[in-house]
Amino acid sequence: MDVVERANLERQRRWVKDQKVGEGQYAVVYRGREAATGRKVAIKKIKVGQFKDGLDMSAIREVKFLRELSHPNVIALLDVFSAKTNLNLVLEFLDSDLEMIIKGCPTLFLPADIKSWIAMTFRGLEFCHRNYILHRDLKPNNLLIASDGQLKIADFGLARDFADPGSKMTCQVITRWYRPPELLFGCRYYSSAVDIWSVGCIFAELMLRIPYIAGESDMDQIKKTFMALGTPTEQDWPGHKKLPDYVPVGNFQRTPLRDVFTAASTDTLDLLGKCLLYEPRRRISAKEALSHPYFFALPYPTHPSKLPKKALPVVNSKALEEVDGNVDLTGPGPAVKANPPNKGLKRKLSEDEVGRSIARKLDFGSVGDTSM
């Protein structure tokens, strides 16, 4: 046994897999622990043998980016080891996510609570963007919540670097309800602004407690976006009619944000509006957002330890998984029709089903476009 094999065996022995909590096409997720300390972890076993040319690109990217990123608001990759034909990722254990809290928490969200979650999201995202990494799948169930209330960005399976501004990228990323209009129109050259749009949609969802723009197809998503924010003009979004998949979709007047978010402050609406600008180059950056007056006005952000926690988790969010073809691992239960998703039937989850729900966030999706 050479030095590399011996080191790998030592790492393998450090972690114990206790229980399988989820399985997708490319990975199995276990609830595990550190043998010496009993610390809880999540262990993702990637099925290397599933791929003709070795590892799936999403697996390579997630390992690469999580090794480069160390931040309180980004999920931590603790270790990597191989076993037979499998690659195992050891991740910090997180038992909740923002989607669970939005849909399962019975208490009212205070403006200070929303400000805290959005601040942590922007901090983690600013760190990603500062390191030239696009996340490309921000949504509430990819924002995991630690036991101390800290929010952590997870699931970097669709992430990629953007150091070269001329790189051609796939537009088939980001779950539909959080996908910006430039991607819906087939844009292949884009920037960190795509993540900012997603944060804007999450911001709106925290205030509404239902998804802000929830289309049932890509065309319906465009239509609902225009219905909410108005059909863009050349002044609003220069050149958008030249995008590869552009099609005219109605002529809708913008609904003022004040009419939708009636209790929001002026600063809140200003930041939200700057996240949801049609012209990507005009959208606020994560760095600029963290300096926005919204975060410095009263009320100040709630301390993470005092944020609302999930109550009894419920199955009422399958629509989010079905919209983009993601694999659902929450076990048998009633499907829920989208828009609005919280009108569906609800049932209590067992501890194992809660684990499987979190495992879904740790699983890899598949993307057919290799020019990602």
Closest CA to 93 of 154, 51, 160: 154
Question: What does DSSP say about strands 27-34 and 77-83: parallel, antiparallel, or unpaired?
Answer: unpaired
Residues ≥6 apart with Cβ < 8 Å to 193 = 180, 280, 281, 283, 285
What spatial distance separates the first Cα and last Cα of the chain, rounded to whole Å?
Answer: 38
| Closest listed residue to residue 232, CA positions, set 253, 217, 215, 216 | 253
Which among 56, 95, 97, 137 is annotated as catalytic? 137
Residue 137 annotated to the active site: yes
Which one, of 347, 329, 332, lies nearest residue 30 by Cα?
A: 329
Paired with 23 in beta bridges are 28
Beta-carbon contacts of 48 under 8 Å, excluding residues fewer than 6 positions away, are 54, 55, 85, 86, 87
The amino acid at 132: Y
222 contacts: CB under 8 Å, gap ≥ 6: 181, 184, 185, 215, 247, 249
Enumerate the β-bridge partners of residue 310: none
- Residue with structure tokens 């796939």? 170
Active site residues: 137
